[in-house]
Structure 1
Amino acid sequence: MFYGESAELTLLRDSVASVAGEFGPEYFLSAARTGRKTDELWSALAKPGFLGVSIPEEYGGGGGGITELTAVVEETAAAGCPLVLLMVSPAICGTVLARYGSPAQRETWLPGIADGTVKMAFAITEPDAGSNSHAISTTATRGSDGWTLRGTKYYISGVDEAAAILVVAATKDESGQPLGTSLFVVPVDAPGLQRSMITMEIVAPEKQFTLHFDDVLLPAEAVVGKVGGGFRSVFEGLNPERITGAAIETGIGRYALRQAVRYGLERSVWGAPIGTHQGLSHPLASAKIELELARLMMWKAAGQHDAGTDASEASNMAKYSAAEAALRCVDQAIQMHGGNGLASEYALAPYWGLARLMRIAPVSREMVLNHVAQHSLGLPRSYGGARS
């Protein structure tokens, strides 16, 4: 039990850990290395309703919040099975559609997200925009029968597993006048949508893709929320993305520490378990402290989001601290193992790559620091064109 959590949340956490523990790192890494998907684990999590804990009850979900979903994400990762699509499909897409989707969009997508039969991807990142989401060049132009989508997105996770993609685009009217940024539901089989996989060194079952939208025709009802209100609806999903991203990291950190402690007790050198040596135990203890502090911020952020208060500061801080702590935990676990830390048998090195990735995505540590400097400390904006 985590400090202050309810008995219901503890039961959820234990139940998820039991299900994910039946799979573990052997299953996860085997799937990732051979190009298989983790469909069996996804289905096992879906059957008791874990994937839909944050989806409203009227659409087949559990009616909970990001707090409950965070517990699902963290415990799955702590079992050695960090699933990036949990951060995308229910956390971002489910949250945005539940809040801003039309009745038809909710009926179409939320039940499938809740029961695990439907996955959705999210596309905002572009080659030339980077972290500057206000500079996206993908456009949706209004026509007599709907919208025409043109542009490129990249580093989009899990498109090959998704039924549809939430796409952020700059909208224009028939004459080319800007209408603001809007959000669209785009089926993955839409004519004109092409994808190419990005080769990565990361060991993960979810693949990354570049997407090309070549005059993709969308009906008027593909817009999520109001035309021009895209950033408002997108930002509704970004805090859950950061919070569940932190949960992936804290789960990885917990997994790494568990492996390190086990090895520290079993491995004996100079007549004593290596865990008795302060040169190894103290750095591991320090990593544990950093991890638990990150978890406190993560739960604070989840609580604020579910309470309807502004969770942007806590969400960014949680994502930042969890990424730093997880990387420290994995690194120290590898150090505890010595050369064995890089051996496939001990299932540690692949998690270093995943932990390192989360320092960059879904938001880089530098952009988090920019946010804290500007919005938490009140310092002048330090990036972009006009500074305020």
Structure 2
Amino acid sequence: MSFVESEERIALRKAVAEFAAKYGPEYFTGKARAGEKTTELWEEAGKLGYLGVAVPEEYGGGGGGIGDLAAVCEEMAAAGCPLLLMVVSPAICATVIARFGTDEQKSKWLPGFADGTVKMAFAITEPDAGSNAHKLKTHVRRDGDDWVLNGTKTYISGVDEVDAVLVVAIQETGPVLVIVPTDAEGFTWHEIDMDIVMPEKQFTLFFDDVRLPSDAVVGSPDQGLLQIFAGLNPERIMGASMGTGTARHAISKAVAYAQQRTVWDTPIGAHQGIAHPLAKIHVEVELARLMTQKAAALYDSGRDKQAGEAANMAKYAAGEAVAAAVDQAIQTHGGNGLTREFGLASMLAASRLSRIAPVSREMVLNFVAQNSLKLPRSY
């Protein structure tokens, strides 16, 4: 593994940063506050190939790895445009279908993932089952050539703007992943009223005898567990990338303010009480970025077990870094940090989300304690 990104990856970052800067935080936050979608941003990113960098070339993608897609996600967030559905649609759903889908499923879905014309949500969390996937109750059964799905999912992102949902369900032989079109009969959803400024909404989903065709289950029905882990590692890597990108955005705003805001004819950034906290967070963000790149490199090389450990660590480090970065950026701005003009207060709830989802920091520490340190389980 190289600690220096390839020239191609660096060029990709530069191009995405320049593209996202055309939209910027004013566009993104304005859309979120108005209850609108960032459709123009998503569509242009798709046409330019940024959403499909990790889709195989034979299906119209860039043929890269999750590290390339994570770089796109990070640079978008660093420009003030953190696209939550990037963590879900091209990272989880496209990856699972590319690795495990039938030839027909790949041909049907992957070209749309590649150019951004297809969006897919991912549904695993239930009211009584979050990190404990063994307690999932949403179930699917065979009925002739069809599948029939029943159950409930909650805190599922972006269902109102996707074509289908990749649902984790239980059948007699274990978990399976089922593709459910959003217009399927018996499938309804209810928006969760969130106090967070994001274009993507959160939903509770209800499946009431949803009848699906035989090809709704991804690949082989006996590979569900492998498929789940194939999707969760990219989810953590992408979540970490969005976190580090958002942290970079917050710190850049804080640094700019600390350079131009003067007290007694001295920029406030000259004072160690302002400079040292920002420097400390910059170090923490760079460490989180490095772990994220390691996790992506392990995943792209096929070392799923090692990638799982690194992806969890990257997610933890990025969550802590972005929460600290936004908090310190607000503190650096003083009262201005809470005004709409400076655009930091709206980032506060989203930065805390990085410590909760897609896996909480407590569950990451449980994972590290049990798997990395070989300590006994408490549950």
- For 1:331 and 1:120, locate their aligned partners in 2 and report how far apart those are by CA, in whole Å: 32
Q: 2:277 aligns with which of 283, 289, 299?
A: 283
AA partner of residue 212 (structure 2) = L
**Contact kept? 2:152, 2:207, Cα under 8 Å:** yes
Structure 1: runs of 5+ lacking an equivalent: 172-177, 384-388
Determine which of 228, 248, 263 is the counterpart of 1:234. 228
- Give, in angstroms, the shift of residue 271 of structure 1: 1.6
Structure 2 contact 149–207 (Cα < 8 Å) conserved: yes
Distance in 2 separating the partners of 1:351 and 1:336: 15
1:68 positional shift = 0.5
Hey, what's the Cα distance between the residues in 1 that align with 2:188 and 2:21? 37
What displacement does 1:348 show?
A: 0.8
User: Who is 2:105 aligned against?
Assistant: 105
Matching of residue 263 in structure 1 with residue 257 in structure 2: yes
Please point out which of 348, 371, 376 is paired with 1:352: 348
Specify which of 366, 369, 373 is matched with residue 373 of structure 1: 369
C-alpha displacement at 1:225, in angstroms? 2.2
Does 2:190 align with 1:196? yes
Aligned partners of 2:231 and 2:168: how far apart in 1?
Answer: 12
Kindly indicate whether residue 311 of structure 2 is the aligned counterpart of residue 330 of structure 1.
no
**CA contact 1:301–1:315 (8 Å) conserved in 2:** yes
SS in 1 for 2:5: coil
1:92 alignment counterpart: 92
- Aligned residues with identical type, % of pairs: 60
Give the corresponding residue for 1:133.
133
Kindly provide the amino acid, as one letter, of the partner of residue 135 in structure 2: A
* Dislocated runs of 4+, deviation >3 Å: none
- Equivalent pair of 2:124/2:130 in contact (CA under 8 Å): no
**Conservation of the 8 A alpha-carbon contact between 2:78 and 2:245:** yes
Once the two structures are TM-superposed, the CA of residue 250 in structure 1 deviates from its matched residue by: 0.2
The residue identity in structure 2 corresponding to 1:370 is: N
**Equivalent position SS for 2:155:** strand
- Counterpart CA distance in 2 for 1:237 and 1:75 is 22
Q: In structure 2, what is the equivalent of residue 14 of structure 1?
A: 14
Asked if structure 2 preserves the Cα contact closer than 8 Å seen for 1:53 and 1:62, the reply is yes
Indicate if the aligned counterparts of 2:319 and 2:352 stay in contact, CA closer than 8 A: yes
Indicate the RMSD between aligned Cα atoms, in angstroms: 1.0
Contact 1:370 1:382 in 2 (8 A): no
Give deviations 1:326-359, integer Å, cap 9, x for gaps: 1111111100000100100001111121110111
Q: 1:280 to 1:314 in 2, by over 3 A?
A: same
Q: 1:208 aligned to 186, 202, 206, which one?
A: 202
Listed as ranges, the gaps of 5+ residues in structure 2 are none
How far residue 229 of structure 1 moved from its aligned partner, in angstroms, is 2.4
Tell me which amino acid in the other structure corresponds to 2:274: L
Which amino acid counterpart does residue 196 of structure 1 have in structure 2?
A: H
Inter-partner Cα distance in structure 2 for 1:185 and 1:61: 21
1:236 CA displacement = 0.2
Where does residue 175 of structure 1 map in the other structure?
A: none
Q: CA deviation at 1:3?
A: 5.1
Give 1:296's aligned residue.
Answer: 290
Q: Which moved more, 1:67-76 or 1:139-148?
A: 139-148
Which one of the candidate residues 149, 170, 179 is aligned to 2:173?
A: 179
Describe the superposition over 1:75-130 as per-residue Cα deviations: whole angstroms up to 9, x where unpaired. 00000010110000000001000000111111111100110111000000000112
Q: Is residue 225–residue 233 contact of structure 1 (8 Å, CA) maintained in 2?
A: no
Contact kept, 8 Å, 1:20 with 1:79, in 2: the verdict is: yes
Count of residue pairs brought into register by the alignment: 376
| TM-score computed with the length of structure 2 as normaliser | 0.98
Question: 1:44: how far off?
Answer: 1.8
Partner of 2:51: helix, strand, or coil?
helix
- Contact in 1 for aligned 2:91/2:235 (Cα 8 Å): yes
Offset at residue 153 of structure 1 (A): 0.3
